[in-house]
Amino acid sequence: MHSTYVTPRISNVLDMKRREFVKQTSLVSSLLLVPRFIQAFDDLVTSASGYRRLVVIQLSGGNDGLNTIVPYRNDIYYSSRPNLALRSNNLIALNDELALHNSLTPFMRLYEKGYVSILNNVGYPNPDRSHFRSMDIWHTASHSHEYLQTGWIGRYLDANGEKPYNAIELNEKLSLALKGQVRNGMATNNAQLLYRTAQDPYFKTLIKHQLDDHLGEHNLGYLYRTLISAESSAKYIYEKSKTKRSNEEYSKGSFGRQMKSAAQFINSGLKTRVFYVAQNGYDTHANQKQTQARLLGNFAVNLEKFVIDLKKAGTFEDTLIMVFSEFGRRVKQNAAQGTDHGAANSVFILGENLKKPGIFNEPSNLTDLDTNGDIKYEIDFRAIYSSILRDWMRADVESVISGDFPPITLV
């Protein structure tokens, strides 16, 4: 009977290198979680134009929609927030009812060009006010009582697995939204690091000696088989993306870096259908005014830089941007000069192909709140997903979204 033997020298090297490898979180997220992403990138195109893509921006923590899109003539707004309400002389008016937070001047410039549609009162029935659970609901497009293990973008990849595209999250870890049953998106915030790690001599030696045959399916053999294919694709992604460099001055923080990387990926011609970006910090239970002003200012500056980048390269016309947060905040301020977890919120859709730029629907009705004192939802977020899938991505909605959520006309 044939037997296999791994020499002690190689075994010791394995133990040592295994510990080194797990520190490479970007590569672990990208490769361990994405065993089949290679096929999606084998057919990358040389031109970025004419290929529709979606950019999802997640404002994590629950952005306060009422102090973002402000009902500045509503007495209930001011009486509910005696210290937190934003005064009309320090806002950017959109119309006779609504105004933008004064940190959103760059966002207003995009709005004035017809690139923004503001959807009010977006949510879902029986809202959950837990960050983790509500984000899972948004990521999976599930009902509030339903627990799914695949994300809506992941299922989109599952249903379109033979086509040459995939999804990239500009982060070290892959969100549930991008995980499918058989296909996942890819998490990387540094194409050069991904390439260098895949080129590590240690892994080349392992591949050369076919040590994956000895390690077994449930150990690291799975990883090395992935690396054989990952090596060529990581090189292609790196070589392709480094041909484009942005001259725009994004902020030096995480969100600015993500947006800059997304712009360079798009403008380099990667045939990627979904890019996923997140800005953290919106859980403003205390001292909300200062925190939200800083975050929204950072968001608006980098979003405008991103649009300018794409406009210069001629790729903005084929790009749709969706901005969401897992829930809004309570209408009434709390005792710590902040707001607690709420329900419905605003969603922003940006692009050159909007059917209804401006204010998409009526603002929140502050005289008709739910039993917890929160804004009631009017638009189910899954109707937005359905619209994007059908009208922008040209995908089969039923293979991705379970339930009856007729698309609304966005693009």
Q: Residue-wise pLDDT tens for the chain (411 aa)?
A: 444 444 445 445 445 454 444 444 344 444 444 434 433 343 433 344 457 999 999 999 999 999 999 999 999 999 999 999 999 988 999 999 999 999 999 999 999 999 999 999 999 999 999 999 999 999 999 999 999 999 999 999 999 864 335 889 999 899 999 999 888 888 888 778 777 776 777 656 655 655 445 555 545 554 554 455 456 556 667 776 776 788 899 999 999 999 999 999 999 988 789 999 999 999 999 999 999 999 999 999 999 999 999 999 999 999 999 999 999 999 999 999 999 999 999 999 999 999 999 999 999 999 999 999 999 999 999 999 999 999 999 999 999 999 999 999 999
What is the pLDDT, as a whole number, of residue 69?
98
What is the pLDDT, as a whole number, of residue 244?
75
* Residue 138: domain span: 46-177+246-399
What is the pLDDT, as a whole number, of residue 22?
43
Backbone φ and ψ of 101, nearest 5°: -50, 140
Contact predicate 157/185, CB 8 Å: yes
The answer to whether residue 20 is domain-embedded is no
Domain total for the chain?
A: 1
Q: In 3D, which of 272, 278, 60, 280 has the Cα closest to residue 185?
A: 272
Backbone φ and ψ of 11, nearest 5°: -60, -45
At a CB cut-off of 8 Å and minimum separation 6, what does 240 contact? 44, 268, 269, 270
What is the pLDDT, as a whole number, of residue 206?
56
- Among left, alpha and beta (phi > 0; psi -120 to 50; other), residue 341 is beta
Contact predicate 273/54, CB 8 Å: yes
C-alpha–C-alpha distance, residues 369 and 247, integer Å: 47
The answer to whether residue 228 is domain-embedded is no
- Residue corresponding to tokens 């309570």: 330
State the helix-helix crossing angle for 254-268 and 288-313, rounded to 10 degrees.
20
- Residue corresponding to tokens 């992403």: 37
The answer to whether residue 292 is domain-embedded is yes
The answer to whether residue 409 is domain-embedded is no
Here the CATH number for the domain that contains residue 99 is 3.40.720
- Quote the pTM value: 0.85
What is the pLDDT, as a whole number, of residue 190?
78
The answer to whether residue 199 is domain-embedded is no
The answer to whether residue 405 is domain-embedded is no
The answer to whether residue 332 is domain-embedded is yes
Contact predicate 317/115, CB 8 Å: no
The answer to whether residue 127 is domain-embedded is yes
